[in-house]
Amino acid sequence: MKLTIQVNEGPYQHQSADSAYYFAKAALEKGHEIYRIFFYHDGVNNGTRLTTPPQDDRNIVARWSELAQQHDLDMVLCVAAAQRRGIVDDGEAERNGKDATNIAPGFRISGLGQLIEGGVQSDRLVVFGD
Amino acid sequence: MAEETKKFMYINRKAPYGTIYAWEALEVVLIGAAFEQDVSVAFMDDGVYQLAKGQDTSGIGMKNFSPTYAALGDFEITKIYVEKESLEERGLTLDDLQHLVWEDEDEDWAEKDSIRLVSRAELGEVLAGQDVLFNF
C-alpha cells in the first residue's frame, strides 16, 4: 500500500512524533511504500538538526534522518509552518535574510500542496497528532 | 498531477485562537482548493467556535482570521458540515455562526447556503464516505 504520513506535533512534547516514526518504520518493514512524510504545525520541529536531547534519551531528529537515508524517503516540512517556527534551509535563509540554517539531513522545505498531493497520490493518508 | 478526483474532508475540532490548529487548517483548505478534488469541511467539538460571528481578537494580539471562512464559497468549497450536537453542547445555534454562502454557476449564480447542519450520526456517515480525512 502506498502511504502518506502527516505529523502534526513536535518531538519530545508529544508522543505522535514517536508514534509516526514507529508506524513508518513498521510499514516499511512490512513492504509498504511511503510516498511522503509531511510535517505540519509544530511537527516541523522534527526537522531541526540543532536538537540536543540528553544522551540517555532517543534522538528523534537523527532517527528520522537515518530512516530517510535508509529508505530514500521524501520528508517535507511545510514552508509556512517552518517559517513561523524558525526552521531554515539554505534557500529560506537567503530568501528571508537569515544568518543561519538548521534543517536536518533528509528533510526538505516545501509548500502545503505537497500534503494535498500526497493525499491524492496515496492509498492512505495517515495523520499523527492531537 | 491529480489524475483522479477524491473526496477530501477537512475536520476542524479545536477552538480558533487557543492553538494554531484552526488557522493552519484553514491554510491547508485554501491551498487544497487549487487541486480540484471533491472537498468538504466539517466543524465539530470546539471547532464550531471557528465559525462564530462577531469575533474580536483585539484583546489578544492575534489576527482575526474568521472573515476568511466567508471566502470559502469563492474557492468552490460549498459543503460545510456543522455538527448539531457540538453546537447544542455549547449553547449555540446556527444564528451564532457566520452565514456562509456560495454562488451556483448553473443556476445563474444563485446564492446558496454552504452550511449543512447534521447530527453526529449523520456526520459519521459523511465521514465514512470520504477518501481522505484531514483531521485538525
pLDDT of residue B102: 95
Question: The domain containing residue B98 runs over which residues?
Answer: 7-135
CB contact under 8 A, A125 and B134: yes
Measured between beta carbons, which residues in chain B are less than 8 angstroms from residue A84? Answer: 20
CB under 8 Å to B102, separation ≥6 — which residues?
A: B72, B73, B74, B76, B77, B78, B111, B112, B114
The count of domains in chain B is 1
Among A63, A66, A48, CA closest to A104? A48
List, for residues B16-42, the tens digit of each pLDDT value.
999 999 999 999 999 999 998 999 999
Beta-carbon separation of B28 and A111 below 8 A: no
- Asked if ipTM goes beyond 0.85, one says yes
As given in the structure block, the three cell numbers for residue A89 are 534551509
Specify the CATH number of the domain A2-128: 3.40.1260.10
- Residue B49, domain CATH: 3.40.1260.10
Smallest CA–CA distance from B23 into chain A, residue: A41
The per-residue pLDDT for B2 is 47
3-state secondary structure of A103: strand
* Beta-carbon separation of B2 and A120 below 8 A: yes
**Which residues of B3-135 form beta strands (DSSP E)?**
7-12, 38-43, 80-83, 101-104, 110-113, 115-118, 132-135
Query: In this structure, is residue B1 part of a structural domain?
Result: no
Per-residue pLDDT tens digits for A55-71: 999 999 999 999 999 99
What pLDDT digit, counting tens, does each position of A3-39 carry? 999 999 999 999 999 999 999 999 999 999 999 999 9
Q: Domain coordinates of chain A in residue numbers?
A: 2-128
CA distance A40 to B118: 29
Residue B3's pLDDT band (cuts 50, 70, 90): low
Is A41 close to B24, i.e. CB distance below 8 A?
A: yes
Q: CB-based contact (8 Å) between A113 and chain B?
A: yes
pLDDT value of position B12: 98
pLDDT digits (tens, 9 = 90+) for A38-52: 999 999 999 999 999
Closest CA to B83 of B71, B75, B74, B92: B92
Residue B125 lies in a domain: yes
Q: Mean pLDDT for chain B?
A: 95
Average pLDDT over residues B121-135: 97
Q: With a cut of 70, say whether residue B62 has pLDDT above it.
A: yes
User: Does B95 have pLDDT greater than 50?
Assistant: yes
Confirm if B40 and B7 have CB atoms less than 8 A apart.
Answer: yes
A66 is annotated as an active-site residue: no
pTM: 0.92
